[in-house]
Amino acid sequence: MITTIIANADTAMLKTVTAFQHDLSTIRTGRATIAVLDGILVDYYGTPTPINQVATIAVLDAHMLTVTPWEASIIPEIEKTIFGSNRGLSPSVSGNLIRVPVPALTQERRKEMVKQVKLFAEDARIAVRKVRRDGNSTIKESKVSEDDIASGQKKMQDLTDKHIASIDTICSKKETDLLQI
């Protein structure tokens, strides 16, 4: 019973860490990657749609992305959405192609991004702790001995510590990448 609760909590915590890693992939480190445009939603016939579902995104070189919309009618909407995404990108239209230069990061922008990374990390830590709290309450509600409850809660805390350490490691690595010139 308690083993199942802990296994479910481990799975949920692992999903939180994976989601955290995905969130960090959207923060650019000075190199052009298609992940920079992840999470940008374009108004496509009244429906917010991810940009990669209405266009082909490619890396032209280390400092340039290209976005080729499947319909020419949505080019202005894509351009406006990328510009307004608060990612420091200034797209320009060239025929049926949108060029998105990825500028070098200033020290000020790097510090802003580090703050954003820390916010993502804190959100992930909170989510892991919530899983721990839910798991501990489920363990307390189970009909087992006090020793088994205490043992289960200790295992849950060890699991929580492991995943929070993983989040901290990923966070510090991303901070190092961002602050590196």
Percent of the chain surpassing pLDDT 70: 98
Q: Does domain 34-101 have CATH number 3.30.360.10?
A: no
Q: How far apart are CA 41 and CA 74, in angstroms?
A: 12
Helix axes 2-25, 146-179, angle to 10 degrees: 10
- Listed as own residue / partner, the contacts of 142-148 with beta carbons closer than 8 Å and 24 or more positions apart are 142/1, 142/2, 142/5, 144/1, 144/2, 148/2
Q: Does domain 2-26+106-179 have CATH number 3.20.20.140?
A: no
To which residue do tokens 């992305």 refer?
65
Which amino acid would we find at residue 61?
D
Q: Per-domain residue ranges for the chain?
A: 2-26+106-179, 34-101
Question: pTM value?
Answer: 0.69
Q: Using alpha carbons, select from 101, 89, 74, 75 the residue that is nearest to residue 39.
A: 89
pLDDT tens across 69-100, in order? 999 889 999 999 988 887 778 899 988 899 98
Beta-carbon contacts of 129 under 8 Å, excluding residues fewer than 6 positions away, are 160, 164
The DSSP bridge partners found for residue 168 are: none
In the predicted model, is pLDDT for residue 62 greater than 90? no
In the predicted model, is pLDDT for residue 180 greater than 80? no
pLDDT tens across 5-29, in order? 899 999 999 999 999 998 888 776 6
Q: How far apart are CA 172 and CA 163, in angstroms?
A: 14
pLDDT tens across 132-171, in order? 999 999 988 888 888 888 999 999 999 999 999 999 999 9
| 155 DSSP 8-state letter | H
